[in-house]
Every structure is written in C-alpha cells, then in structure tokens.
C-alpha cells in the first residue's frame, strides 16, 4: 500500500494576485474606519449606500412564483422569450435586422459570459484576427480575450491632458490597424472613463470601420442605466446596424435591472442574411455546449416578464430613470463641492461631461493609493470611481480626498 507524503502534484501552482476590481471590495471589508467608502465595484447603491433590488424585479418574481414554473433545463441558446425581448430592446422591435431575421441571439452568462462566447467564436471562425480595445478599457476585456486565445492591441481613447476623448488618436489607430480587424467599442457609458463619443463622432467611427472593412464589437453593459433611456443608450449600435454593418454585440442586465447575481445577458451577431444568422447561431450553440451546457433560467424569466408586460415595462423604465437620475445628482454635487473647495481655478467640468456610473478622475496610481491609505476611499488604481456607490452626504468628504491627493501627492 502506498504511503501518503507531504509532497503535492500542485506545488508549482502560484498564488494569483487579487482581482483589480473585486479585490477592492475585499480590502474595503477589512477596513474598520467609519469614514470608508467603496467606490470600486460598479454596483448601484441607494442614497443610504445600500444594495437595491428593483420593485419591478420583485413583482416579476412574484408572478413567476404564482405561475409555479419549473426548473427544467433551458435549450442551449436559452429562453426563447428572453432572446426575442433582448434583441428587440437592443435594436427596436421594428428594426429591419429583426424583421429580416439577420440577427443570431444566444442567451449568455451576463456581460462577461456573453463576451467570452463571442471571443470563442472569433477564435474559431476568424482565427488570427486582432481585436482592438480602447486604452483604457474594462479590466476584464483583456482577460477574456487572452483566455480565448484572441490576439488584441489597443487604440487611443483617453486624453489625460483634457480628461476627455482622444478622438483623433482613436481614428488614427483604427486606420492603422490591418483591414478586417475587430474594434471593441463600449455602446454607452464607457468603462472606466465615462467618456462617450458624440452622435457625430459615432458616425465618423462607423465611416472608418466600413472603409477599413473592420467589424465592430459592441459591449452594451449599461443600456437604459446611463441616460435613463433605453433608446438613447442604444443609439450607437442602431446607427451602425442601419448601415447594414455586421456586428458583434454583448449585452448585460446586471446594471439596468440590478440582476448582478443572476448572470443574465446575451451574445448577438448581426449579419447580412437570415441563412447566415442561422449558421452563426448553430455554431454559438456548439461553442456554448462544452463551455456551460445551457444558461440559467431565473434571470431570463425576469427580463422576459418585465419586457413582455406593458405595466411592468413602464415601471422598469421609471426605475431606470430614478437610478440614472440619482447618479447624475451625485455627479453634479461632487462637481459643486470640488469647485467650492478648490481655490486654484482648476477646471473640474470633465466630471459633468462624463456619463454613467463611473467617473475617471485623472488621478495617478500613487494619488489613488493616497485616496485609500489616507482617506479610506477604495477605488481602482487607474483613478476610476463608481458614483453609484457615493451618496450626496459623502460628496464633500470625497472632494477633500481628491483635492488632497491631486495637489499633495506626486
């Protein structure tokens, strides 16, 4: 009989570093200060800084319970009612893309899982094609592409001098990319900067993508949550689709319905014919089967019930406007406090020009570390703060922390 030893076959496995975003919350929880603020993770909080479950979600779940729906496996592509609803929310129910059947939609595991499935499709059917991502971008984009084996590079996006969009640099990098590249774009409320192109700039971006025969890949994580309007926040995608462009689109319902833990989203591919859409959908299903087999049902039913009931749908839109409105109020309050407290005359108006739950402060890594070490403000090291985790009452304290870090830390 073999004798067990202390040696392990896993001795070479290293300790992974903390996640740059989720690790912020771990550090926040360990801090015992009463002053601490968690502005790291992008999750909506009430003015009392408490998690918020939408009333419309509670009503949809009550209806589901009353119906006594079962927990049987969904098909690989997910719940049919959800797939129909999510495509129509993205493009509009009367969009020719939908009416002509030129879209392949597969339910995904929120935004991350939907991006990952699209990346697997790119790796298999567009091998070697490089994806261009904005600099900076959401930290998980690089992880997703790396793990899928998809090559990537960056295009300029953030201009530190203006704390705004480097539009000329963005266009130049897209023009310099090899023809047929894939351009990953944030549909609205760019993460982490909160800086979006204007409608006119979106049209110019589309011009360049068409001229270079690139494919646009939209990450739509905040539809309805950024401006408070589902239609306004889908404007970029709809403008591209109206040109007949082929697109990848990943969707998430974590923010706009608060379904963070339900992992509900979708992978969409818009193409040129219904026959191609069917073939693409069949291959997305083929990729999903060994990856996670089929998606969860609970969140999909919530979305389908909310969108499918006119009264619930109207209530959802009102709650989205409420959430978006609170973040806008906090953004304005923070700006007002910075202007009142900073006597140098520095222009802080970039905060008001940004949109969505995040603000890119322009603080360096060392300045961001001072925010945490001295002021107990937890944020990502790239200077991003989540306004969704800020209350009006805390804006003055945050303004003091930003001013101190900006002027007193190299």
pLDDT of residue 284: 98
pLDDT of residue 23: 83
pLDDT of residue 6: 74
**Residues known to be catalytic:** 138, 219, 255
pLDDT of residue 410: 83
Q: E strands along 47-191, which residues?
A: 103-108, 131-135, 152-156, 158-159, 164-165, 182-186
Rounded Cα–Cα distance for residues 195 and 359 (Å): 9
- The DSSP secondary-structure symbol of 394 reads G
pLDDT of residue 20: 81
Predicted model pTM: 0.95
Stretches in the chain below the pLDDT threshold 70: 1-5
Taking all residues of the chain, what is their mean pLDDT, rounded to a whole number? 96
Number of C-beta neighbours around residue 235 at 10 A: 16
Kindly state the tokens that stand for 26.
């771990």
100, 164, 217, 305, 306 from 257: Cα distances, Å: 29, 29, 23, 12, 10
Kindly state the tokens that stand for 370.
């001072």
pLDDT of residue 349: 95
- The DSSP secondary-structure symbol of 93 reads T
pLDDT of residue 41: 80
Q: Which residues lie across from 247 on neighbouring strands? A: 216, 270
pLDDT of residue 4: 65
Rounded Cα–Cα distance for residues 268 and 101 (Å): 12
Rounded Cα–Cα distance for residues 282 and 77 (Å): 9
State pLDDT tens for residues 230-239.
999 999 999 9
Closest C-alpha among 42, 18, 50 to residue 191: 42
Burial 160-173 (b: 16+ CB within 10 A, else e): eeebbbbbeebbeb
| Residue bearing tokens 């499918």 | 308
């Amino acid at each position: 009989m073999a004798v067990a030893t202390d040696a392990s076959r896993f001795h070479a496995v290293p300790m992974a570093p903390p996640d740059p975003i989720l690790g912020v919350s771990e550090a926040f929880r360990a801090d015992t200060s009463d002053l601490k603020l968690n502005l790291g993770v992008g999750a909506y909080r009430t003015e009392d800084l408490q998690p918020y479950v939408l009333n419309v979600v509670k009503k949809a779940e009550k209806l589901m319970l009353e119906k006594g729906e079962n927990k049987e496996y969904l098909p690989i592509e997910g719940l049919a009612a959800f797939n129909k609803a999510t495509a129509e929310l993205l493009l509009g129910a009367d969009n020719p893309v939908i009416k002509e059947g030129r879209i392949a939609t597969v339910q995904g595991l929120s935004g991350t899982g939907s991006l990952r499935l699209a990346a697997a499709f790119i790796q298999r059917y567009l091998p070697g094609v490089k994806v261009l991502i904005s600099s900076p971008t959401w930290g998980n984009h690089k992880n997703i592409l790396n793990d899928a084996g998809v090559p990537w590079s960056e295009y300029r996006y953030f201009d530190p001098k203006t704390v705004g969009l480097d539009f000329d640099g963005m266009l130049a990098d897209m023009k310099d990319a090899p023809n047929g590249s894939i351009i990953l774009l944030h549909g609205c409320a760019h993460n982490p900067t909160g800086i979006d192109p204007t409608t006119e700039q979106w049209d110019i971006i589309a011009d360049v993508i068409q001229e270079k025969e690139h494919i646009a890949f939209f990450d739509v994580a905040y539809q309805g949550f950024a401006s408070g309007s589902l239609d306004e926040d889908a404007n970029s995608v709809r403008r591209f689709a109206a040109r007949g462009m082929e697109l990848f689109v990943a969707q998430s319902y974590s923010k706009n319905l608060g379904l963070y833990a339900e992992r509900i989203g979708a992978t969409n591919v818009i193409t040129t014919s219904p026959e191609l859409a069917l073939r693409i959908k069949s291959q997305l299903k083929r990729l999903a089967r060994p990856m996670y087999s089929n998606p969860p049902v609970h969140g999909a039913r919530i979305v389908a019930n909310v969108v499918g009931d006119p009264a619930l749908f109207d209530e959802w839109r009102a709650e989205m406007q409420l959430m978006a409105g609170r973040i806008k109020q906090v953004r304005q309050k923070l700006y007002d406090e910075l202007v009142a407290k900073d006597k140098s005359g520095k222009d802080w108006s970039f905060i008001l020009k940004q949109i969505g739950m995040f603000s890119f402060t322009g603080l360096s890594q060392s300045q961001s570390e001072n925010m945490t070490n001295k002021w107990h403000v937890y944020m990502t090291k790239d200077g991003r703060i989540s306004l969704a985790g800020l209350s009006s009452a805390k804006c003055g304290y945050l303004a003091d922390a930003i001013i101190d870090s900006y002027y007193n830390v190299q």
